[in-house]
Each structure stands twice: as C-alpha cells, then as structure tokens.
Amino acid sequence: MTISAGKPDSGGDCRDWESATRTELESLRNRVKELEAENAKLLTQISSCQCQQMEVKHDVSVLDSGSLVRRRRRSRKGNDTILPSHLISKRFIALKIMYFGKRFYGFSAEAQMEPSIESEFFKALERTRLLVGDKKDCSYSRCGRTDRGVSSTGQVIALFLRSRLKAPPGDSEAHLDGKMGEREYDYVRVLNRALPDDIRVLGWSPVPIDFHARFSCSAREYKYFFWRQNLDLSAMDIAGKKFVGEHDFRNFCKMDAANVHCYTRRVTFFEVSPCQNSHEGDQLCTFTMRGSAFLWHQIRAMVAVLFMIGQGVESADVIDTLLDIERTPRKPQYLLASEIPLVLRTCEYENVDFICSPGAAESLRSHFKNESLTYQLESVIFQEALRNCVPLGNEKSSCNGVEKKKKAAIHAPLLSRPTEPSYEERNAKLKSRTPETCTV
C-alpha cells in the first residue's frame, strides 16, 4: 500500500486526494496496531515456553534427588536458560516448618554461626530453584527467632517462591484462590526432598501481600518437657498461673536494653500436665504456655524459677515479687533452664489454612516414624551403657584411700542473690558510650 507523492491542482481532485490519503493513513495505523498485538502475543508465547522448560528442568532435578548436587556442579558452567526474574511467575506463600534444634545455632542465620535452620532452608530453596533472586528480593519474614538448641513443630515463614500459576502480576486474589493449589507446585514434597532429616516443611498456604510472619501472628504456643522426679506439680501449677495476664517480664528474660524498651507481654494460657510417656517409673510432663509474644529467653527463665518452686526451695509468692518491678527493679542472678526440651509448638494466624498433599503427608508420617525409631535406638544404647557401668558397691576409693562424696548444693534464696543491672542503669550506660558531637 503506497501513498501518491503528487498533489492534484484542481479543487475536486485535491479533496479526493486528501480523502484517499486519510484512508490510507488510518489503514496503516490499524495495521501497526495489529502488528504490535501480534508481536506481544508471540513474546508471551516464547516466555511461556521458556518458563515451562525451566519448570521441567526444576521438577526433574528435584525428583532425581540423588544426582541433584552433581547436576548443579556440572551446570554451573553450562548453558542453562536464565530468565529475567520479572518473567518468572511468583507467588507469596507461608510455610509451616518443623525442626529438631539440637545441632543448630538457632533459627536465624544473622548471627554468622553455622549451621542454622534458616541457612539450611535457603540452601534447599536454591537447590530446588524455587527461590527467584535472593533472600533480599523475596519479601522474607519469620515468626519466631528461636535460640540455639530450641526445636519447633510449627514455625512459620513467608516469602515469594516460583509458581506454576500464570496469573497477571499484581493479581493477588488469583494467587489466594485455594483451588489453584491443585495446579501449583507441591512445595512440601519438593522442599522436603532437599532438606536435611531434622528439618521438614509441614504445609504451605497462599497469603495476601501484606502478610508478615511475625507481625500477623496472633498467638504463639510453647511447650517445655521435663521429667517429674520429685517435683511438686501442684505447686508449680499454682505458681505458673500467676504468669497469666499482662505483666512486665524484665526479671524473666535476658535483657536487651539497646533494642528492646518495653518488657510488657501478655500470657493468655498456662498449664502443667503429665504426658503419656514414662521411663522406669518416672513420668514425663510438660509446661504449656501461650501468649501474643515472648521476650528473649523468657520461657526458659520462667521454667527455671518454676523448677525452684517445684523443688520446694522457693515459694509461689516469689513470682509476684519478681513481677513487681517497683519492688524488684533488678533481676536476681539465676541459671536458665536447658534449651533442649523447649519447643515452639504453634504460631496462630487468622484465615491461614496450610495445605499438604496426600502424598507429601504420607511421606512426612513415614519420615517422622523412622526418625523416632532411630532416636529410640540411640536411647537404648545409652541405657545399655548405663547397665554396663561399674556397680556403685564396687567403686574403688580415691587414691588417698578416702571416698569422695559430692557435696549437696546449697540453695541461695532468689531475693537474696546478687542482681543484674536494671533497665535504667543499662540504658544510661549505653547513652554514656554514645560519642558526643564536638562543636568549634
């Protein structure tokens, strides 16, 4: 289609020429629009094809977990298709995680101590190629920052992960559609194939963009397991009920005056109860505590004081005294309870329902059963070693012929012990270290 170069001289011919020119220009504009639409359609098809190829590679590499690491090593210098992150479909989800904390230096990787649960989890995300970009690009958040040795059966994190969905960018309602989970990656199965045996994903859930694993949490529940021995459960239950309500818990935590300025927390539930497990006549028991949030080492400090009450060396009234900050502005020095029996059991949210496919759920049950049997076998070995110890009646005396006996520990009352600096004293010390600005 061409436009004539010359312009006629007569008036009638001029009008005809202008009309024909306008028609041709309009036709050219429409054709340009058609070509642009066709070009956009082809680009979409190419992008979709490349995404599907990446998905196939991803699924094969995860399913063949035995050769996963070797494949990645070979492909580092290979010609893997790398798509820009904006062309990869992503979805904002929450993941429910279980971990056995004994061998880890806590959940967070920020302390630069390895291994941590967080660092192991992100290694699995990278191996499975579910992570698009890096940790800074995925809007990552976590509910709890459990300490070294602490376990969890309900930790929750939230982040953007690769998705099979082709919903338009910004269409958060489509990503929240529960039915679309049937066509989505089986995040639980995929990640559990790449995680170590003491970390497992229990479920996943689509969440809105403004969801935050920490600040959207309405309640956290902890359990602390212990052997009853000669402890007075009734006395500990009466004392523990004093924690329920809103209190200043600065005498029941490890104070961080530089970052934490409010030590008021609300405990909504406390219970002491026996478990079904027992060993050689000793009953396993548990403290259950629920609240909106907890301070650093708060649970372990509370348990330590409860053990003193259960042993009969402190009265339940000491809880009231320690919660009264005006009467007791400084925390008495005492050791925390062990971290190993502490478990973050659940993190509760509104309108968040975790999903787990039947196949992934069956694999989880089988895995937990096998791990439980393995730990029971390890326990049997220690029991066998205990039986093979030299009997107490045949123990040899010390080199000087006098048998040494361990002295019984003498309990020092909590309220008469040396104290730690108060919050005000710590804060004043921090301010004194702040360099002053010199003026000329």
In a domain, 75, yes or no: no
In a domain, 188, yes or no: yes
Q: Is the dihedral of CA 242, 238, 224, 341 positive or negative?
A: positive
In a domain, 388, yes or no: no
CA distances from 232 to 202, 272, 362 (A): 36, 11, 40
In the chain, which stretches have pLDDT less than 50? 1-4, 50-51, 54-73, 75-80, 168-172, 174, 397-402, 437-440
Q: What is the CATH number of the domain that holds 210?
A: 3.30.70.580
Q: Are residue 193 and residue 224 in the same domain, yes or no?
A: no
- So which residues are the catalytic ones? 147
Q: Are residue 342 and residue 356 in the same domain, yes or no?
A: no
Q: What is the pLDDT of residue 84?
A: 55
Please state the pTM of the whole predicted model.
Answer: 0.76
In a domain, 9, yes or no: no
Q: What is the pLDDT of residue 34?
A: 82
Q: What is the pLDDT of residue 12?
A: 61
In a domain, 61, yes or no: no
Give the separation between CA 213 and CA 140, rounded to whole angstroms: 9
**φ, ψ of residue 101 in degrees (nearest 5):** -85, 0
Q: What is the pLDDT of residue 63?
A: 41
Domain tally, the chain: 2
**φ, ψ of residue 397 in degrees (nearest 5):** -75, 170
Q: What is the pLDDT of residue 164?
A: 87
In a domain, 62, yes or no: no
| Structure tokens that stand for 350 in this block | 């509104």
| Structure tokens that stand for 267 in this block | 């405990």
In a domain, 81, yes or no: no
Q: What is the pLDDT of residue 68?
A: 44
Q: What is the pLDDT of residue 276?
A: 87
Q: What is the pLDDT of residue 67?
A: 41
Q: What is the CATH number of the domain that holds 298?
A: 3.30.70.660
Give the separation between CA 235 and CA 228, rounded to whole angstroms: 13
| Structure tokens that stand for 292 in this block | 């909106």
Q: Are residue 181 and residue 161 in the same domain, yes or no?
A: yes
Q: What is the pLDDT of residue 27?
A: 83
Q: Are residue 222 and residue 344 in the same domain, yes or no?
A: yes
Q: Are residue 113 and residue 182 in the same domain, yes or no?
A: yes
Residue 160 β-bridge partners: 92
In a domain, 152, yes or no: yes
Q: What is the pLDDT of residue 214?
A: 95
The residues, any chain, with a CB within 8 Å of residue 11's CB and separated by 6 or more, are none
Domain that holds residue 201: 87-167+175-216+350-383
